[in-house]
Amino acid sequence: MAPPPSPPSPPAPAESAPADPAPPEPSPAPGDAASPQSVGELFWAFNRLALQGFGGVLAVAQRELVERLGWMSREEFVETLAVAQVLPGPNIVNISLMIGDRFFGMRGAMAALAGMMVVPAIIVLTLAALSTTWLASPRMTGALRGMGAVSAGLILATGLKLLPSLRKNPVGLWPGLALASLVFGATVWLKLPLFWIVLSVGGLGMALALIALRRSRR
C-alpha cells in the first residue's frame, strides 16, 4: 500500500521590503558657519574691532574678520580693501559699510557703521571733555607719538600677512609685487598725491588683471 502523500509545506513568509533609509540631514549651506547670524552680532563685532584699534583699525580688522571670525578670506579682504581705498572716506568705514551690506543689506551696513563709530566716539568725546589739560601735557604727547610707531608696525605686519594672497590674484605674485613696489616708491620717494597713484598704478593693475582673465578663459 502506497504511503499517504505528505501535506504541502506552508508557504515561505514573504520577505518584508527593506525600510527606506532615513533621509540625510541637510548640510548647512556654504558660508553659514562663517557669517554673522544677526544684525546685532554684526554690530558688536565691529564695536569690538573699533575698541581694539589703538593707532589704527586696519590691522585689527584683518585679524578679526579674516583670522578670528572667518567672515572673509584673505583674498576677499584684499579686494574689499582695494575698493575701500579708491572710494572717498576712511578705509575702515568703507569696509564696514561694504561688509554689512554684503550680509544684511542696508540694515547691516548701518549696524556695522554704528558699531564702528558710536561707542568709540562717546569715549573720545568724554575723555576730551574731562581731560583737555591732561591730553596737552608733554608726557601724553610723547606717549601718543609712541603709539604712532606701534601703528606703523601694525600696518607693516598686516601688509606682510596679506602678501600670500597675491598668489591667487589674477595678476600673479611677481607682477603684484612689482605694482606694490611702484606704489611704495611713488608714495615714499616721489611723494605723489594718492589720486594720481590710484589713477596710474591702479589703472595699470586693472589692465593687467583684465588681460590675465581673458587669457585664462581661452
- Name the one residue in this structure whose C-alpha cell is 568724554: 126
The domain ranges of the chain are 35-165, 169-218
pLDDT tens string 134-178: 767 777 777 777 777 777 787 788 788 888 888 888 888 899 889
Specify the 3-state DSSP secondary structure of 4: coil
CA distance 91 to 82: 9
The predicted pLDDT at position 196 comes to: 92
Q: Tell me the C-alpha distance between 204 and 110, whole Å.
A: 34
The predicted model scores a pTM of 0.69
pLDDT at 24: 41
pLDDT at position 4 is 54
* pLDDT over 60 at 53, yes or no: yes
How far apart are alpha carbons 16 and 9 in whole angstroms? 20
**What is the reported pLDDT for 7?**
52
Number of C-alpha atoms within 13 angstroms, CB side, residue 14?
Answer: 3
Q: How far apart are CA 86 and CA 80, in angstroms?
A: 10
Strand ranges in 87-205 using DSSP code E only, listed in sequence order: none
* Cβ atoms of residues 98 and 80 within 8 Å: yes
Does position 89 have pLDDT exceeding 90, yes or no? no
Assign 3-state DSSP to the chain and report helix, strand, coil percentages, each to 5: 70, 0, 30
Cβ neighbours of residue 135 closer than 8 Å, sequence gap 6 or more: 127, 128
